[in-house]
Amino acid sequence: MPVLLNQRARLLIATIWVGSLWTVGYLVAPTLFATLFDRTLAGTIAGSLFRVQTWVSLACGIALIALLRMGTQRAQEQAVKMQAKTLLNVIIGMLSCALLMQFGLQPLMASLRASAATVGGVMNSDLRMQFGLLHGASSLIYMIESVLGVALILKIR
C-alpha cells in the first residue's frame, strides 16, 4: 500500500473511532438522560450504544494496528519507527480501556441491575452505591480513552 494512502486510511479510521467515541459518550448519552423521563430506559439505550461503540473501537483499533504495521514494515528511519511505537502504545491504551469497560465493568453493572430488578431498579436498592462506584470508574476509563483519542488524532497525522 503506498505510503500516502496508508497515512490517509489511518487518519480516516482514527477519525471514525475517536469521533464516534466522543459522539456517543459526550453528546448522545447525556442527551438521552436529559430528554427521556425514564432514566432506566435512557440507561438501557446508552448501554446498548456503548456496547456498539466497543465493537467500533475494536474494529478501528485492529485496522489501525494492521495499517501501522504495513506502513512501518519497510521503514528504515528510526524516527518513523519511534512514531509508530508511540501510535501503537496509544492504540493499545485505547483498546485496553474499551475492553476493560466492556468485559470488566459492564458485566458487573449488568449483574447489579439484574439483582435489583425486583425492587424497582438499582437506584432504588442497597446496591446503588456499588453501582455508582462502578459507573464512576467506567466514566473515568471512558474519559481516559477519550483523551488518548486526542493524542491519537494529533500523532497520527
Banded model confidence at residue 46, pLDDT cuts 50, 70, 90? very high
Please spell the DSSP secondary structure of 39-101, one letter per residue.
Answer: HHHHHHHHHHHHHHHHHHHHHHHHHHHHHHHHHHSS---HHHHHHHHHHHHHHHHHHHHHHHI
pLDDT tens track for 74-118: 666 766 778 888 999 999 999 999 999 999 999 998 888 888 777
- Scan for cell 492504540, then name that residue: 91
Rounded to two decimals, the pTM is 0.89
Instruction: Please answer whether residues 14 and 60 qualify as being in contact, where contact means their C-beta atoms are separated by less than 8 angstroms.
Output: yes
- pLDDT exceeds cutoff 80 at 61: yes
- Taking phi over 0 as left and psi of -120 to 50 as alpha, with beta for the rest, 120 belongs to left
pLDDT tens digits, one per residue of 118-145: 777 777 777 888 888 999 999 999 999 9
